[in-house]
Amino acid sequence: MPASSIIGHDVDEKVKSLPRSTLVCTVLVQRVHIAGQQRHHYRRGNFISPKSHTNSMAPTSADPAASAGRPVSVLFVCLGNICRSPMAEGVFRNVTHAGTPQQHPLIKEIDSCGTGAYHAGDSPDSRTMSVLADNGLTDYKHRARKLRTPEDFLRFDYILGMDQDNVVDIRDEAKKAAKKGLVNQEEALAKVHLYGSFGGKSQKEQVQDPYYGARDGFTIAYDQLSRFSKGLVAHIEQEAARDLGKTTA
């Protein structure tokens, strides 16, 4: 569908000449009351401000990017929440300019956690912090936590595992919560994805746990997560454009 048919009369001709992804974001900024809907506090670092504690009963959807391009929330998950998932969070915050005036209008909240509580309360692995710093992501702060059930399934739109084991564990937690009547199983499972399915070299690309290896494993993870973050942003923008097109059809 031509960009002009999606945008309609919301913006002038000069704006319509911008790239498609910019057009989608421009229209959403105009249509959605960002200031009102995004009164969330973002945590960490030079590019991040204090973390939000939003209502755990936030709206859910079987299609995470539905509701006409509403801003979405993203949760990154690994095993212990000290290596891969906090690195993924830091990279994605940087890519989307979280907590800054340039924050991507389609991103509402970003967080990370682990499927286990092995390191609950700990800071990220020093090698994670070192690789982030080497790439200009400084002053990032995080305390590891375990996946919260049912809160995280109600709160986040995308719940992204770093490897297949993470994905299986997350889905198991969703099913347990559904059996207790705490979440809708179909909606909860629809939010769970392997992160590598966004921007990976294949739909099954995994981020291997670098914890027991050398520092170069963290560098490899960073390179993967950088690719995935761009792929995820592109996916979210495409979903928003599609849904926005439906509302203007």
CA-wise closest residue to 161 among 202, 196, 120, 110: 196
Whether residue 3 contacts residue 16, with contact meaning beta carbons closer than 8 Å, is answered with yes
Specify whether 25 is catalytic. no
Joined tokens for residue 162: 């770093």
pLDDT band at 66 (very low <50, low <70, confident <90, very high): very low
Sorted by sequence, the CB contacts under 8 Å of residue 52 that are 6+ apart come out as 40, 41, 42, 43, 109
As a whole number, the mean pLDDT across the chain is 81
Catalytic residue among 125, 163, 169, 209: 209
Specify whether 127 is catalytic. no
Whether residue 24 contacts residue 241, with contact meaning beta carbons closer than 8 Å, is answered with yes
Catalytic residue among 43, 44, 70, 84: 84
pTM for the predicted model, two decimal places: 0.77
The pLDDT score that the predictor gives to residue 202 is 83
The terminus-to-terminus CA distance of the chain in angstroms comes to: 10
Query: What residues make up the domain containing 125?
Result: 40-236
Domain with 115 in it: what CATH number?
3.40.50.2300
Number of domains forming the structure of the chain: 1
Answer whether residue 30 is part of any domain.
no
Q: What is the largest CA-CA distance in the chain?
A: 56
Catalytic residue among 25, 78, 83, 113: 78
Specify whether 78 is catalytic. yes
The pLDDT score that the predictor gives to residue 139 is 78
Answer whether residue 243 is part of any domain.
no
Mean pLDDT value of segment 109-132:
97
